Amino acid sequence: MSKENGIYVANAPVSYGAFEVTVGIDPNVPDGLALLDAVAKAGYEGIDLGPVGYLGVGAELGKRLGDRGLGLAGAYIEFSYHESASVDAMLPELDAMLDTFDAVQPFISAPAPRPTIADAGSKARHAAPGSGARNPESGLSDAQWNEFAIGMNRVVQRCRARGYEPTLHCETGSYLESTAEIERALSLSDVGVCLETGHQLLGGGDINDFLHKWISRINQVHLKDVTLSIFDGILKDGAGSSAIWAREAFPRLGEGDFGVPTFVQNLIQSGYQGWLVVEQDSFPKTEERFAQAIEDQAINRKYLAGLGL
């Protein structure tokens, strides 16, 4: 599998409403094989892992991917980096994730998957999304940032020892929301960073400026569009970060407030190479909405093809 511009477009199970709070719980969630078929039919080159076991396990997953010409873009995992005991507790989950990466490698020929390492945040942060920019005092203290650096670099080195280069992911409700927080973390490590257009925009960031400034460190892209009026409503109502998904603040590409065409042009011109994962996080509640999610992802792929990806 090769791409002329070096950018490989993947999707993620969460775009289909398949994540930890729906898989195995809501009977309308498409099963793993059906989702892989939908991703391949839509023309994506890869998929993120999603909930452990959902798409398959070990060599079984590798064969399913290989049979459909799909690569594995990565997998998401959260740590409370500033709490050493919490980092210790999550390391077995990281190792299991990397074991999955090892198992699928013989079956795929796309770029290697990225361990997508995020900060877990706190109840207070998740209750007040966007606090990183709107209330900087709610962030970590200098002492906590020192512990954060130790924990983050432990995780980075563990990934590298297994042969995988991680990518640092920002998330609404975490301690990596605002551009200042993301850049502080990058100053504490040589880890690569995931340019996450949706969450960085909600955190008050300038996506194209960040792309230009940090292109040498960007080693993964998660592409979302955003409806800012929905997020404004969430803030006005005092709702928590989960409302971002429940109220569908991330629409189909090109239908929100983020200038996707300009960003894609800038990304191609930047020389970025690697995975670009389309994410339209949603929390479907009906069979019809799950079916719509499958259609939405096919539309998203055609939209990006029209932009040269």
Contact yes or no for 72/108 (Cβ under 8 A) = yes
Whether 196 maps to a domain, the answer reads yes
pLDDT tens track for 61-70: 999 999 999 9
**Distant-in-sequence, close-in-space partners of 230: CB < 8 Å, separation ≥ 6:** 247, 248, 249
Write the DSSP symbol of residue 15: G
Whether 2 maps to a domain, the answer reads no
Write the DSSP symbol of residue 73: E
Q: How confident is the model at residue 32 (pLDDT cuts 50, 70, 90)?
A: very high
Whether 293 maps to a domain, the answer reads yes
Whether 70 maps to a domain, the answer reads yes
Whether 1 maps to a domain, the answer reads no
Whether 93 maps to a domain, the answer reads yes
Write the DSSP symbol of residue 256: S
Answer whether residue 2 shows pLDDT above 70: no
pLDDT tens track for 39-97: 999 999 999 999 989 999 999 999 999 999 999 999 999 999 999 999 999 999 999 99
Contact yes or no for 10/43 (Cβ under 8 A) = no
pLDDT tens track for 169-203: 999 999 999 999 999 999 999 999 999 999 999 99
pLDDT tens track for 84-136: 999 999 999 999 999 999 999 999 988 999 999 999 999 999 999 999 999 99
What angle, rounded to 10 degrees, do the helices at 287-306 and 32-42 form?
30
**Distant-in-sequence, close-in-space partners of 224: CB < 8 Å, separation ≥ 6:** 196, 197, 198, 199, 201, 250, 258, 278, 279, 280, 281
124, burial (CB in 10 Å: exposed 0-12, middle 13-18, buried 19+): exposed
Whether 266 maps to a domain, the answer reads yes
For 277-303, b/e burial (b = at least 16 CB within 10 A) is bbbbbbbbeeeeebeebbebbbebbeb
Structural domain total, the chain:
1
Helix, strand, coil percentages (3-state) for the chain, rounded to 5, are 50, 15, 40
Tokens of 257: 């407030």
> Residue 99 is part of a domain; what is its CATH number?
3.20.20.150
Domain of residue 175: give its range: 7-306
Whether 109 maps to a domain, the answer reads yes
